[in-house]
């Protein structure tokens, strides 16, 4: 019988990569192994324009106080508008909303043209048919590398219809498997 390997042994070379050697493609591929939900963040610009974009960087931070987090590239053309908005809404997408995810991920300026929304807190558009809506005060921002991190103070949360979520994994949309 062999003795167990001590936990202090170095990781195999194929697992450990020195930080200086990490390239962006390798990092993206590794991050893509983590399945995420998809959401659309919406807000109203200072000029009253509806703005929105698809994200998969959404997560919870705290239950008390209720805080959520998402991030946005510093190069985003909507960066200044989203920072200036008093509120934003995180619209959690259902599996049947893949087309909306693609629309809001693209560069089409008319994202809201054929979409009826309701005005949430601060005027942030709420997209119908979502699994949940988080309406947040937009008052905490931190720079993190090439992104701006938004921490939203949740002022209202609403659950939608119970249906399958839109999932992203390995660079593609996925469906949840049936319960075992």
**pLDDT value at position 139?**
87
CA distance 153 to 140: 8
**Residue 92 within a domain:** yes
CATH of the domain at 162: 2.30.110.10
**Residue 1 within a domain:** no
pLDDT in tens, the chain (180 residues): 444 434 444 444 555 556 667 788 888 888 888 889 999 999 999 999 999 999 999 999 999 999 999 999 999 889 899 999 999 999 999 999 999 999 999 876 789 988 999 999 999 999 999 999 999 999 899 999 999 999 999 999 999 999 999 999 999 999 887 776
Bond before 65 cis per omega within 30 degrees: yes
**Residue 111 within a domain:** yes
**Residue 60 within a domain:** yes
Domain of residue 161, residue span: 41-171
CA distance 81 to 52: 10
**pLDDT value at position 56?**
92
CA distance 150 to 142: 7
Question: Where do we find the tokens 């908005």?
Answer: 85
Q: How many domains does the chain have?
A: 1
Reduce the secondary structure of the chain to three states and give it as a string: CCCCCCCCCCCCCCCCCCHHHCCHHHHHHHHCCCCEECEEEEEECCCCCEEEEEECCCEEEEECCEEEEEEEECCCCCHHHHHHCCEEEEEECEHHHHHHHHHHHCCCCCCCCCCCCEECHHHCEECCCCCEEEEEEEEEEEEECCEEEEEEEEEEEEECCCCCECEEECCEEECCCCCC
**pLDDT value at position 7?**
41
**Residue 23 within a domain:** no
**pLDDT value at position 110?**
84
Quick one: tokens of 147?
């992104």
**pLDDT value at position 9?**
47
**Residue 176 within a domain:** no
**Residue 127 within a domain:** yes
**pLDDT value at position 8?**
42
pTM of the entire predicted model: 0.85
């Amino acid at each position: 019988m062999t003795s167990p390997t001590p936990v202090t042994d170095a990781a195999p070379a194929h697992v450990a990569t020195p930080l200086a050697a990490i390239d962006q493609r390798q990092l993206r591929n590794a991050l893509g192994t983590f399945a995420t939900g998809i959401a659309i963040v919406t807000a109203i610009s200072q000029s009253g324009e509806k703005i929105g974009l698809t994200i998969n960087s959404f997560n919870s931070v705290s239950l008390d106080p209720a805080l959520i987090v998402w991030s946005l590239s510093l190069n985003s053309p909507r960066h200044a508008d989203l920072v200036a908005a008093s509120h934003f809404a995180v619209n959690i997408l259902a599996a049947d909303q893949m087309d909306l995810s693609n629309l809001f991920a693209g560069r089409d300026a008319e994202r809201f043209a054929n979409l009826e929304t309701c005005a949430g807190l601060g005027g942030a558009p709420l997209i119908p048919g979502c699994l949940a809506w988080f309406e947040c005060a937009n008052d905490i921002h931190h720079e993190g590398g090439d992104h701006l991190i938004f921490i939203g103070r949740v002022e209202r949360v609403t659950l939608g219809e119970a249906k399958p979520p839109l999932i992203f994994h390995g660079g593609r949309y996925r469906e949840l498997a049936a319960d075992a």
